[in-house]
Amino acid sequence: MKILKILFLGIVLVVFNLTYLAAANLPDTLLVKASGAEPGGVLTLTIDMRIHSTGTGGFLNLFGGIPNGIAQTAHGELASGTTAPTDAGGWWYQWTAFGTTLKTLATTTLIRMDDAEDGSNKLLTSTLLGVNIDFLATAGLISSKSGEVLKVSFNVPADMPEGTYTLTPDPVGNLIFKYPVDQGTFTDLPVVIVDPIVVAVIPDNNQLALVATQGAASGKSVNVAVKIANRDTVGSGSFTVDYPGGTLTLKGVTAGARAGGATFGYTIADVTTALAAAGDKRATVTFTGGTIPTGGSGELCSLSYDVASVGAGSTASIMLASVALNDQTGTGLSDIVQPSASTEETALSFFFGDTLSLGVMQGMRTLGQETAGIAKIMNGKLYVPVILKNASPVASLRFYVQEDPVDKIGILSLDANPVANISRATGWWFTTADSGSYVQVIGLANTTTDVIAAGNGALFELVYDIDITPVPAEGEGVDIDLMLKGVEVIDDQGTSLGVEKIDGVATIDHRVPTAGEGISQGASLPKAFALSQNHPNPFNPSTTINYQIPDETGNVAFTLNVYDIRGRLVKTLDRGMKSPGYYSSFWDGTDNNGSQVSSGVYFYRFTSSAYNATRKMILLK
């Protein structure tokens, strides 16, 4: 019996010692957990202390990266039962849970916000010293040595740019102190885990949506973005997509900007529902191992399809059929919006057989005998008809015209009045940009009654200045290839049409005027202000904005700013005083704090005493 008791006691001691050693080997940890917040809402940082060392007497927690805009006014500690401040940029703190007991008994507590050395962000310091944490736990005055200690709250300004703001722990500013304080700190530094701050319009539910990133053309390929907007943190999930297998072939799935590190896979099977057409396919896409924090719409992944060669008038639809989303433990989330065939965000339609062409033909022209569809040279300018064949009404279009060969670049440049002889696009708004080797053209119907009706014919003529020396002799000419790129045509329902593009060749011949006429726009100072459409647009990750200041104005004080769709300042791209000339600014999709902004519609505005202009651009991630 004694032997059994000794053995039992020995087992208990071994188990106790193993447990003790395991606990002793665990590192002390400081966690900073950030809640998501909408612009105009309240953001909360929760500091959580998990102590495994013995003889502990407090902590020091220091991290930076807090945006200046949300930490403008300090209100100090918020007493229990007191109404929280409501001023934009105001911040305050509260000791919570067992942090309340620690604060009451501690000899030193300090919560302070300071400017970073370069002034680009704020540093938050939290200090609690001189309290015998082990005694409190042993005496039952606190339930454990781990838990929530402190909450720091911020009133996020309504004009705060949406985005993810990274918080960075100071490498030597996070310590666990011994008790009493004069014993110093533990040799091993604590593990510090800090969540990023996410400022975004938080949805009321969890949902996916389909977005066509380009038009679908017969015999080409098309990418379809799958976007996620989630109220809850997502760790894994799946969704199904139906599409016509005879027209579209799924070739791959690529993780998007909001995939949160998830890996993707897919399987394909026949659709067997009663309403399915022969050849319809269903792709089941799964993703696992991610951490997708609460946030507004962003790209979860992209589906890449090959398009079969189909005839004019053919159509194809891609539909999101079902969605399942889980948290990081694999538990299914509630409030998932299931797709519906009648919802624009879950069903995409593509139309094939429409064409956009440049009406230029190779060969000599005889002055006065130009015909429709043949480029005209008049008064030192080249007129290029832009011709659209469309089966459905068109509300907007965008395209680039690239010049080739390289040694001929510079002969053509957009005229100061680049769009002329508008016919089928009456009532449209146009903007153009000339980068030297290519030009960009964007057109929009001003009202719903201005859409381009189904038909076939010239929309307008694109006008180039010609600068060529020497002027070709009669019977000779210089051929310049004009190639359509990045064609996007949108119908009156917002659907991207699959448009075939037909390039052309312009022949510059003896009708070019003599020296001193038809000077290239790039060879002299501008004659008027202009703010060009950014290119590329939509863009990811960066875009270029060109603008010009005319000769007659002289030096001009100006600003060039980017605003979000709510009119909030996002980024100042350029400002100051500039002389007449041509200028370019570059935007990399970051705000004035250097943080990446979310996908969406943005506006850039040139402001001066002599000229003001605003253009729209789209960032797609």
Rounded mean pLDDT of 62-79?
A: 89
The Cα–Cα gap between 216 and 224 comes to: 10
Q: Which two tokens stand for residue 304?
A: 């890449």
Of 243, 359, 225, nearest in space to 300 by CA: 225
Tokens of 92: 């305050």
Is the pTM for the entire model greater than 0.75?
no
What's the mean pLDDT in 248-258? 92
Residue of 48, 52, 14, 50 whose CA lies nearest to 34 = 48
Tokens 């001009």 — which residue? 556
Segment 376-414, tens digit of pLDDT? 676 667 888 888 887 778 999 989 888 887 777 888 889
Model confidence at 341, pLDDT cuts 50, 70, 90, reads low
Torsion of CA 607, 543, 602, 157, to 10 degrees: -90
Residue 213 pLDDT grade (very low, low, confident, very high; cuts 50, 70, 90):
low
Rounded CA gap, 336 and 325, in Å?
A: 8
Q: Which amino acid is at 101?
A: T
> Each residue of 561-584: b (16+ CB within 10 Å) or e?
bbbbeeeeebbebbeeeeebeeee
What's residue 255's pLDDT? 94
The pLDDT value recorded for residue 199 is: 81
The angle formed by the CA atoms of residues 165, 166 and 171, to the nearest 5 degrees, is: 150
Mean pLDDT, range 221-242, rounded to an integer: 90
Question: How many CB atoms within 10 Å of residue 80?
Answer: 8
Nearest-Å Rg of the Cα atoms of the chain is 32
Residues 226 and 203: their CA atoms lie apart, in Å, by: 17
Dmax (CA) of the chain: 123
| Per-residue pLDDT, 525 | 66
pLDDT for res 14: 36
Question: For the chain, what percent of residues have pLDDT higher than 70?
Answer: 83
Are 37 and 61 in contact by the 8 Å Cβ rule? The answer is no
> Is residue 416 classed exposed, middle or buried when 0-12, 13-18 and 19+ CB atoms within 10 A define those classes?
exposed
For the stretch 552-579, pLDDT in tens is 777 788 889 999 877 788 998 887 777 7
Q: Give the pLDDT score at 214.
A: 53
**Residue 311, pLDDT score:** 64
CA distance readout (Å), 152 to 77, 110, 189, 432, 440: 9, 13, 23, 49, 49
Return phi, psi of residue 25, to 5°: -85, -10
pLDDT bracket for residue 519 (50, 70, 90): very low
Residue 237 pLDDT > 70, yes or no?
yes
**Cis status, amide bond into 171, omega within 30 of 0:** no
User: What's the Cα-to-Cα distance from 224 to each of 241, 286, 301, 317, 345, rounded to whole Å?
Assistant: 11, 16, 9, 12, 12
Residues 6+ apart with CB under 8 A from 1: none
Contact 461, 383 (CB under 8 A): yes
Q: Is the pLDDT of residue 347 over 70?
A: no
Domains of the chain, earliest start first: 27-199 (2.60.40.680), 206-350 (2.60.40.680), 354-523 (2.60.40.680), 530-619 (2.60.40.4070)
Residue 320 reports pLDDT greater than 70: yes
pLDDT for residue 282 is more than 70: yes
More confident residue, 385 or 366: 385
Q: Across the strands, what pairs with 500?
A: 355
Query: Is pLDDT of 120 > 60?
Result: yes
**Nearest 10 degrees: CA dihedral of 546, 552, 554, 559?**
-40
| Cis bond before residue 536 (omega within 30° of 0) | yes
pLDDT category, 23, cuts 50, 70, 90? very low
Contact yes or no for 177/53 (Cβ under 8 A): no
Q: Which helix (H) or strand (E) holds 15?
A: helix 2-25
Nearest Cα neighbor of 205 from 225, 233, 232 is 232
Question: In angstroms, rounded to a whole number, what is the distance separating the alpha carbons of residues 496 and 486?
Answer: 13
Q: What tokens were used for 359?
A: 């009406």
Q: What is the mean pLDDT of the chain?
A: 80
Percent of the residues in the chain that have a pLDDT greater than 90, as a whole number: 22
- pLDDT at site 314: 66
Length of the chain: 621
**Range 429-432, long-range pairs (CB < 8 A, 24+ positions):** 430/460, 431/532, 431/533, 431/615, 432/462, 432/532, 432/533
Query: Residues near 412 by Cβ (< 8 Å), separated by ≥ 6?
Result: 382, 403, 464, 465, 466, 467, 480, 506
Distance in angstroms between the alpha carbons of the first and the last residue of the chain: 73
What are 299's strand-pairing partners? Answer: 227
- The percent helix, strand, coil of the chain (3-state, each to 5) is 10, 50, 40
